């Protein structure tokens, strides 16, 4: 008995330490998103955008504390019971046994909320953003988490009686986090409309080609991208949750390597496909840093669902396709005149969908068995090569993606539409033209590079 206690103490300590470590890395991603947003907007919208990023983190913390976690995991994370649509215990952290898990999940909720910040940049009112941020992290996102990750979710692989005998396999949230955030961003930007001057001139006539509105600092964008890559190791590896259980330490390393390879493949694909297209069209060899950075993120989003259950070569393929898909979707959005200031929709939505589906195609039975204790239904390519063409897992992934797309559409469309209808969504058009910082902060600019001149005038 004394022995058992000692071992339990070690297990609990190490598991907690690992999860806190991962939670801190995931929370660090808030810094990354903030830097990407700050770098991607024009100089007179920096303060405004950054404030949204900071309030995201705070709103998610308060929303998750009050009801979000309860909706997501209430109804016992550890004791499987019947399937429910939404959790109903653990409000206000009450009776939450694994508090490190709470922190980890809070950091995920904050990530989900912050994905949208960049898309709406430069034209969305602050108060609308606040409403949205709380609604997403306290209600819409937790329902998705409950369905796919809790023991009581109808799609969950942890359900005692999972859908089609396997449930949806979304290890770290390509679908749960990124499709939720990305779809919300798509709905919001559709209702909000593009930035003034992006696709039409001042008289409302369509421009021949969209006017580029480049951000003011690629260094900050790159800083943010690298921080996200770093944080993603916590996001993906941390999703093993219990480091000291079975041989989970092997899973942790495997996940980290897959994450690395997918990021690299996504970067290279997005960059060089664009270079090839440009060379074909113009004859000049150019390299687009923005596509490289977003290709990197697309690779990361793509591998998030499958990082624990696919082989490393598959991670390369998944990341590469994710990078290519991102590039196509980014160009498609511009063609469809949907304005996304940071390309969050192609990065998170399309790669998120692809990542979720990729598991249905490429999940390896050995890893499935190691991670989910069940290799009855592997990826379709594996089943097919074994002659069975068992598509149960693929079907679960498709159902999961459709569920999330549907749920977000059903809840978020009326939400943003009502905000828009009552005039709370879109910033005043004059404010938009001069930059939101001017109106909201009383005329102060971001980069006060001429402050020195002021001093000289003074003296």
Closest CB to its own copies among 59 and 162?
Answer: 59
Q: How far is the CB of 170 from its own copies (least distance, A)?
A: 22
Q: How far apart are CA 216 and CA 214, in angstroms?
A: 6
CB of 345 to its own copies, least distance (A): 22
- Which positions from 352 through 381 interact with its own copies, judged by CB under 8 A? none
3-state secondary structure of 213: coil
List the beta strands (DSSP E) in 290-395: none
Site mask for its own copies (CB under 8 A), range 7-36, x = bound: x-xx-xxxxxxx-xx-xxx-xx-xx--xx-
Output the CA angle 71-144-374, nearest 5 degrees.
105
Q: Closer to its own copies at the Cβ: 187 or 263?
A: 263
With CB under 8 A as the contact rule, the residue among 88, 206, 276, 287 that binds its own copies is: 287
Dihedral angle of Cα 87, 92, 97, 102, to the nearest 10 degrees: 80
Q: How far is the CB of 327 from its own copies (least distance, A)?
A: 16
| Cβ-based nearer residue to its own copies, 1 or 202 | 202
Which residue from 215, 306, 346, 352 is in contact with its own copies, where contact means CB under 8 A? 215
Please identify which residue in 109, 135, 292, 391 interacts with its own copies, judged by CB under 8 A.
292
Among 131, 164, 213, 395, indicate the residue that binds its own copies (CB under 8 A): 213
Q: Which residues have a Cβ under 8 Å from the Cβ of 139 and sit 6 or more positions away? A: 67, 68, 71, 411
Separation CA 70–CA 143 (nearest Å): 10
From the CA atom positions of the chain, what is the Rg in Å? 22
Q: Closest Cα partner for 238 from 227, 247, 249?
A: 249
CA-CA-CA-CA dihedral for 184, 185, 186, 187, to nearest 10: 50
For the stretch 425-444, what's the b/e string if a residue is b when 16 or more beta carbons lie within 10 angstroms of its beta carbon? bbbeeebbeebbbbbbeeee
* Residue from the set 158, 193, 210, 218 that interacts with its own copies by CB under 8 A: 218
Among 137, 203, 230, 393, contact with its own copies (rule: CB under 8 A): 230
Using the contact rule CB under 8 A, the part of the chain among 1-9, 338-346, 381-389, 409-417 near its own copies is 1-9
Q: How far is the CB of 417 from its own copies (least distance, A)?
A: 23
Cβ burial of 402 (10 Å; 0-12, 13-18, 19+) is: exposed
Give the span between the Cα atoms of 374 and 160, in whole angstroms.
12
Query: What is the smallest separation between the CB atom of 63 and its own copies, expressed in angstroms?
Result: 10
- 109 belongs to the binding site for its own copies (CB under 8 A): no
Closer to its own copies by Cβ: residue 8 or 82: 8
Shortest separation between residue 447's beta carbon and its own copies, angstroms: 6
Positions in 123-152 near its own copies (CB under 8 A): 126-127
**426 backbone dihedrals φ, ψ, rounded to 5°:** -90, 135
CB of 150 to its own copies, least distance (A): 19
Quote the least distance from Cβ 305 to its own copies, whole Å.
20
Binding mask 156-195 for its own copies (x = CB under 8 A): ----------------------------------------
Instruction: Specify the DSSP class assigned to residue 92.
Output: G
Q: Does 268 bind its own copies (CB under 8 A)?
A: yes
421 binds its own copies (CB under 8 A): no
* String marking each residue 423-452 x if it binds its own copies according to CB under 8 A: ----------xxx---xxxx-xxxxxx-xx
Kindly identify the residues of this chain, within the stretch 49-108, that bind its own copies according to CB under 8 A: 50-51, 53-55, 57-59, 61-62, 65, 92-93, 98-100, 102-103, 106
| Sign of the torsion angle spanned by Cα atoms 200, 204, 205, 206 | positive
Task: Pick from 116, 140, 177, 296 the residue near its own copies by CB under 8 A.
Answer: 296
Whole-angstrom distance, CA of residue 57 vs CA of residue 117? 11
Based on the number of CB atoms within 10 Å of its own CB, is 161 exposed (0-12), middle (13-18) or buried (19 or more)? exposed
58-75 burial code (b ≥16 CB/10 A, e <16)? ebbbebbbebbbbbbbbb
Task: Please tell me the chain's helix, strand, coil percentages from 3-state DSSP, rounded to the nearest 5.
Answer: 70, 0, 30
Footprint (CB under 8 A) of its own copies, residues 235-264: 237, 243-244, 247-250, 252-254, 256-257, 260-261, 263-264
Query: Which range binds its own copies by CB under 8 A, 311-319, 350-358, 383-391, 404-412?
Result: 311-319
Q: How many residues bind its own copies (CB under 8 A)?
A: 122
């Amino acid at each position: 008995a004394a022995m058992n206690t000692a071992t339990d103490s070690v297990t609990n300590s190490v598991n907690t330490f690992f999860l806190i470590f991962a939670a801190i890395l995931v929370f660090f991603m808030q810094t990354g998103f903030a830097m990407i947003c700050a770098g991607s907007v024009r100089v007179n919208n920096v303060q405004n955008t950054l404030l949204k990023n900071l309030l995201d983190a705070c709103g998610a913390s308060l929303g998750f504390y009050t009801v979000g976690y309860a909706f997501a995991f209430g109804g016992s994370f550890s004791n499987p019971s019947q399937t429910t649509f939404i959790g109903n215990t653990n409000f206000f952290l009450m009776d939450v046994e694994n508090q490190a898990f709470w922190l980890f999940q809070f950091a995920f909720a904050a990530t989900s909320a912050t994905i949208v910040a960049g898309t709406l940049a430069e034209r969305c009112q602050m108060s609308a953003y606040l409403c949205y941020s709380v609604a997403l992290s306290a209600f819409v996102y937790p329902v998705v988490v409950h369905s796919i990750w809790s023991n009581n979710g109808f799609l969950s692989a942890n359900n005692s009686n999972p859908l089609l005998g396997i449930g949806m396999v979304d290890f770290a949230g390509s679908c749960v986090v990124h499709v939720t955030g990305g779809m919300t961003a798509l709905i919001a930007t559709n209702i909000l409309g593009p930035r003034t001057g992006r696709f039409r001139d001042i008289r409302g006539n369509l421009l021949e080609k969209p006017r580029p509105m480049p951000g003011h600092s690629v260094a900050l964008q790159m800083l943010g991208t690298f921080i996200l890559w770093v944080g993603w190791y916590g996001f993906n590896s941390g999703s093993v949750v219990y480091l000291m259980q079975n041989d989970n330490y092997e899973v942790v390393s495997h996940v980290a390597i897959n994450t690395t390879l997918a990021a690299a493949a996504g970067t290279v694909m997005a960059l060089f496909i664009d270079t090839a297209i440009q060379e074909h069209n113009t004859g000049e060899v150019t390299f687009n840093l923005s596509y490289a950075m977003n290709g990197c993120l697309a690779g990361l989003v793509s591998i998030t669902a499958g990082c624990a259950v696919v082989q490393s070569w598959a991670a390369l393929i998944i990341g590469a396709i994710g990078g290519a898909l991102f590039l196509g979707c980014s160009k498609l959005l511009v063609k469809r005149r949907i304005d996304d200031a940071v390309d969050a929709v192609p990065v998170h939505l399309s790669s998120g969908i692809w990542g979720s589906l990729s598991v249905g195609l490429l999940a390896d039975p050995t890893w499935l068995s190691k991670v989910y204790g069940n290799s009855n239904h592997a990826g379709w390519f594996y089943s097919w090569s074994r002659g069975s063409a068992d598509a149960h897992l693929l079907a679960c992934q498709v159902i999961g993606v459709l569920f999330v797309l549907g749920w977000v559409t059903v809840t978020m469309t009326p939400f943003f539409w009502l905000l828009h209808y009552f005039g709370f969504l879109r910033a005043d058009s004059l404010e938009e033209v001069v930059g939101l910082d001017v109106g909201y902060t009383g005329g102060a600019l971001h980069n006060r590079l001429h402050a020195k001149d002021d001093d000289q005038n003074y003296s």
